[in-house]
Amino acid sequence: METVKLPLLALRQKMIYPGTSTFIEVSRKKSMKALEEAIASNTDIFMVSQRDPALENPDREDLYTVGTIVKLVQMAKAGQNVLRVFVEGKERARILDFEEGDNGVTYATLLPFLADHYPESPEENTAIFRLLEDHLESYSRKNPGIFSVQMQKAIDERELYPLINSIASELPFEIEKKQQILEESDVRKQAELLLIVLQDENMVSDIRNEIAAKVKKGLDKNQRDYVLREQQRVIREELGEEDIPSEADEYEEQVQALKADKAVKEKILKEIKRFRQVPPMAAESTVMRSYIEKMLEMPWNKASRDNKDLKHAIRVLEEDHYGLEKVKERIIDYLAVRTLTRKADTPILCLVGPPGTGKTSIAKSIAR
């Protein structure tokens, strides 16, 4: 095929395929100049995606080498310095060279290329078509609203290549994969690439929907409990019955009856105040409730009388534990020093070891 030279317009996170039509929004000055040049010269325009969508002024190396020659169908202002353009993809082309015009427009010398290597038989064509159709239907069930007029038209006409282009154009997957499909001239390989993408997207949709269902179930339960509590409160008010004290009120009463230091009570009351402000359906509410209840259960300012009989301590440790000689010896040393010095601010013993080695049972023996 002969080469052509057309104005170039770089796209961000957008891909246009042959035989598809879509709207694009243009706001960059250079892109607007390319559109104006195409309209003024009554020519098509070449649109190609840039590798990094964050770049405001991409250079030649920032663009993919394969894009699409498109026809400008309609153009209208979509806001201040924004043009909304309706385009139709005509054919793919590969960039051979760039040329910067005096008018600020970048021109690309292009070599158009067509699709080739179609399925070898009608049966193979039908098989690939049905596979794509099945995967697309599965995806659309998990992602409602994905079907477009272009997709439905390709399905109705039973044409493989238009179906590949319409699916690749409409589905919201990574731009790198879209580019890979666009650059592939072999229709069978295009179909294989698209099938892999559809399988991956279906798996992602399954996982996403499963997680969303679990989250919704948890939220629904919390919301239901909250609504029921509110309904109960309203019913009691309508019946003129005394209002049942809230959990926070009950906690505050327990704090007043608690035999603990002033600092301890102030800390618990502060947590109750925070608990009162958190919605019952919030996950944080359960954590705060558990913390407050645990604090209220603690035996503040209560202590048992120590048994300083080392013979009794040795007997208890021997009865409860076989082995652990070093551990038991260290505990007896600790008790002996504490008894002789009569100091309460002795070092803290730390029991360290993997699960099942006796840390908890040793602590229980010390308490005994």
Q: Which tens digit of pLDDT belongs to each residue from 43-71?
A: 999 999 999 988 888 988 999 999 999 99
| Contact (Cβ atoms closer than 8 angstroms) between residue 161 and residue 116 | no
Nearest to 256 by CA among 271, 266, 245: 266
| Banded pLDDT at 94 (limits 50, 70, 90) | very high
Supply the pLDDT for residue 281.
Answer: 67
Per-residue pLDDT, averaged over 346-350, amounts to 80
pLDDT-derived band at 348 (thresholds 50, 70, 90) equals confident
Nearest of 141, 127, 191 to residue 163 by alpha carbon: 191
Per residue in 115-157, pLDDT tens?
887 887 888 888 999 999 898 888 888 887 777 777 888 888 8
Question: What per-residue confidence (pLDDT) applies to 63?
Answer: 94
Task: Give the best-scoring range by mean pLDDT among 40-49, 285-294, 312-321, 330-339.
Answer: 40-49
Q: What pLDDT score was predicted for residue 240?
A: 65
pLDDT above 80 (res 228): no
> Which pTM value belongs to this model?
0.56
Give residues with Cβ within 8 angstroms of 73, minimum separation 6. Answer: 21, 86, 87, 88
8 A C-beta contact, residue 83 and residue 35: yes
Task: Give the residue-averaged pLDDT of 9-29.
Answer: 91
Q: 166: closest CA among 143, 189, 156, 9? A: 156
Strands (E), the chain: 4-11, 21-26, 45-49, 66-79, 82-100, 106-113
pLDDT the model gives residue 137: 87
Q: Looking at residues 295-315, what average pLDDT do you find? A: 84
Predicted local distance difference test score (pLDDT) of residue 9? 94
pLDDT mean over 154-162: 85
What are the counts of helices (DSSP H) followed by strands (DSSP E) for the chain? 12, 6
Reported as a single tens digit per residue, the pLDDT across 183-201 is: 998 899 999 999 999 999 8
Give the pLDDT confidence score for residue 344 in this predicted structure: 65
Decide which of 36 and 143 is more confident.
36
pLDDT grade for 242, boundaries at 50, 70 and 90: low
Q: Comparing 146 with 326, which gets the higher pLDDT?
A: 326
